[in-house]
């Protein structure tokens, strides 16, 4: 009997430790990646209160009314109806957020990451289902997390964002995983190349007619020359963008392909496996700044770090700059703080 009781206590301690790790993982994840809506407020409340209740030795499960009161500040309407619209997303929490949370937990030293479960009530008036976090053990993918494998020093770890707002016309080319393959992938390139060819042909023809014309230059002719210069500049930029995408396998997505408030999204080429053809994919990677705790988003490195995509902290985008390794989703400082500077010189390759 004493042996069984001791085993039960050890099991409970292990479960509490796992749940504490999962709740702390979610808490830290939300610091860097939360958004201002009620769904993220529910997640924040679950993380904070789970840790508090575990510390006090209380049951870390929550009914609808307590969640509604904590998130919206009032509990006048039906709590079940209020929570049901959030449960549509939360019930698929692991499939939607799991891969990113698993990677985040592995990179930050947590043994478990969270999922959300609903404990149905036994029925009866006033008996509500209970919502709680559960702990899922971290799974280490072979060759992925640089910090876990000790491949090289890293200062930050990037994780993919769950959702990306893309433009309406781009939804015709990209599926729900933000991937384009086959003719849809080539449609990202060929219209641009045809537009460049047509614009170059029109511009060259117009300039040729202008040169061969015997009449003196007019205001319209000057406007045509200016237009030709702008056309050449636009063509040059588009060619550089397509060439860079082909060479580097990753570029920043043009704003015309994104939603109105979306930004810092990459357009990358990748192979799902060694035998498959390359596909185009939109991806957004974020990290937490180790200096100030702000959110790090990707951007072009120019002018200081040409031909590179770097991570820039929203709080200090010119000073808190980090590298970005697409293969390991890790990065290191490109600008060293004064107290660590020594003979450090930024990598400009």
- Band of pLDDT at residue 337, cut at 50, 70 and 90: low
pLDDT on residue 8: 40
Higher-scoring residue by pLDDT: 32, 196:
196
Higher-scoring residue by pLDDT: 267, 98:
267
Give the H/E segment covering residue 124.
none
In whole angstroms, what is the distance from residue 230 CA to residue 103 CA?
Answer: 45
From 139, 158, 189, the end of a domain falls on 139
pLDDT in tens, 131-145: 889 899 988 755 444
In whole angstroms, what is the distance from residue 42 CA to residue 87 CA?
Answer: 10
Task: State the residue range of the domain holding 210.
Answer: 169-340
Q: Classify residue 345: in a domain, yes or no.
A: no
Same domain, 181 and 222: yes
Same domain, 286 and 193: yes
pLDDT in tens, 241-280: 788 888 888 899 888 888 888 888 999 988 877 778 888 8
Same domain, 21 and 82: yes
DSSP letter for each residue of 136-148: EE----TT--HHH
Same domain, 119 and 254: no
Q: Classify residue 163: in a domain, yes or no.
A: no
Q: Classify residue 18: in a domain, yes or no.
A: yes
Is residue 340 scored above 50 in pLDDT? no
Number of neighbours of residue 11 by Cβ within 10 angstroms: 10
In whole angstroms, what is the distance from residue 256 CA to residue 239 CA?
Answer: 17
pLDDT on residue 171: 87
- Band of pLDDT at residue 310, cut at 50, 70 and 90: very high
CA 321 distance to own-chain centroid: 17
Is residue 84 scored above 60 in pLDDT? yes
Is residue 196 scored above 60 in pLDDT? yes
Is residue 44 scored above 90 in pLDDT? no
pLDDT on residue 221: 74
pLDDT on residue 146: 40
Same domain, 78 and 23: yes
Q: Classify residue 145: in a domain, yes or no.
A: no
- Band of pLDDT at residue 148, cut at 50, 70 and 90: very low
Phi, psi of 228 (to 5 degrees): -65, -40
What average pLDDT does range 207-235 have in this prediction? 78
Is residue 147 scored above 50 in pLDDT? no
Is residue 236 scored above 90 in pLDDT? no
Q: Classify residue 129: in a domain, yes or no.
A: yes
- Band of pLDDT at residue 4, cut at 50, 70 and 90: very low
Same domain, 188 and 105: no
pLDDT on residue 300: 92
Same domain, 215 and 328: yes
Q: 3-state class of 57 per DSSP?
A: coil
Q: Classify residue 156: in a domain, yes or no.
A: no
- Band of pLDDT at residue 97, cut at 50, 70 and 90: confident
Same domain, 112 and 200: no
Alpha helices (H) in the chain, listed in sequence order: 2-33, 38-56, 64-72, 79-90, 93-107, 146-149, 183-187, 190-212, 219-248
Identify the CA nearest to 238 among candidates 206, 179, 198, 298: 198
Q: Classify residue 164: in a domain, yes or no.
A: no
| CB-facing half-sphere around the CA of 138: CA atoms within 13 A | 25
**Total residue length of the chain:** 349
Same domain, 187 and 328: yes
Same domain, 178 and 303: yes
Q: Classify residue 188: in a domain, yes or no.
A: yes
DSSP letter for each residue of 281-339: EEE-EEEE-TTT--EEEEEE-TTTSTT-EEEEESS-TTTSEE--BTTTTEE-BSS--GG
User: C-alpha distances in angstroms, 206 versus 128, 195, 215, 225, 230?
Assistant: 75, 16, 15, 9, 14
pLDDT on residue 75: 60
Is residue 7 scored above 60 in pLDDT? no
Give the H/E segment covering residue 159.
strand 159-160
Identify the CA nearest to 180 among candidates 97, 190, 241: 190
pLDDT on residue 321: 93
- Band of pLDDT at residue 11, cut at 50, 70 and 90: very low
Higher-scoring residue by pLDDT: 241, 340:
241
From 139, 155, 189, the end of a domain falls on 139
Same domain, 129 and 213: no
* Number of structural domains found in the chain: 2
pLDDT in tens, 124-134: 445 678 888 98
pLDDT on residue 151: 43
**Lowest-confidence region among 18-32, 93-107, 150-164:** 150-164
pLDDT on residue 98: 79
Number of neighbours of residue 253 by Cβ within 10 angstroms: 22
pLDDT on residue 259: 86
From 139, 160, 189, the end of a domain falls on 139
pLDDT on residue 200: 76
CB 283 within 8 A of CB 265: yes
Q: Greatest CA span in the chain, whole angstroms?
A: 110
pLDDT on residue 238: 77
**Lowest-confidence region among 149-153, 217-221, 303-307:** 149-153
Find all residues with CB under 8 Å of 116, minimum gap 6, and list them: 46, 90, 91, 93, 94, 131, 132, 133, 134
pLDDT in tens, 58-71: 888 888 888 888 87
Same domain, 188 and 335: yes
Give the H/E segment covering residue 267.
strand 266-270
In whole angstroms, what is the distance from residue 287 CA to residue 159 CA?
Answer: 7
């Amino acid at each position: 009997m004493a042996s069984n009781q001791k085993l039960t206590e050890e099991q409970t301690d292990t479960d509490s430790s796992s749940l504490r790790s999962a709740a702390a993982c979610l808490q830290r994840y939300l610091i860097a990646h939360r958004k201002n809506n009620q769904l993220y407020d529910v997640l924040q409340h679950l993380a904070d209160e789970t840790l508090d209740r575990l510390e006090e030795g209380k049951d870390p499960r929550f009914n609808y009314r307590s969640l509604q009161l904590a998130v919206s500040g009032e509990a006048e309407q039906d709590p079940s109806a209020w929570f049901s619209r959030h449960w549509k997303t939360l019930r698929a929490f692991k499939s939607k957020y799991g891969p990113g949370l698993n990677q985040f937990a592995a990179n930050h030293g947590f043994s478990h990451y969270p999922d959300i479960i609903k404990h149905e009530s036994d029925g009866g008036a006033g008996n509500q289902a209970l919502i709680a976090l559960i702990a899922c053990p971290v799974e280490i993918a072979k060759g992925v997390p640089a910090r876990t494998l000790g491949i090289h020093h890293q200062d930050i770890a990037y994780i993919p964002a769950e959702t990306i707002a893309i433009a309406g016309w781009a939804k015709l080319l990209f599926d729900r995983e933000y991937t384009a393959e086959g003719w849809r992938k080539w449609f990202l390139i060929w219209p641009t190349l045809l537009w460049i060819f047509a614009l170059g042909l029109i511009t060259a023809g117009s300039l040729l007619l202008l040169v061969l014309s015997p009449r003196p230059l007019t205001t319209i002719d000057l406007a045509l020359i200016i237009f030709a210069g702008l056309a050449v500049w636009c063509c040059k930029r588009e060619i550089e963008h397509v060439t860079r995408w082909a060479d580097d396998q990753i570029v920043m997505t043009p704003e015309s392909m994104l939603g109105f408030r979306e930004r810092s999204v990459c357009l990358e080429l990748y192979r799902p496996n060694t035998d498959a053809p390359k596909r185009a994919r939109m991806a957004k990677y974020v990290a937490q700044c180790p200096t100030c705790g702000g959110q790090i988003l990707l951007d072009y490195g120019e002018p200081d770090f040409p031909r590179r995509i770097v991570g820039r902290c929203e709080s200090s985008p010119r000073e808190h700059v980090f590298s970005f390794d697409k293969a390991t989703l890790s990065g290191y400082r490109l600008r060293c703080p004064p107290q660590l500077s020594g003979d450090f010189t930024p990598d400009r390759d």
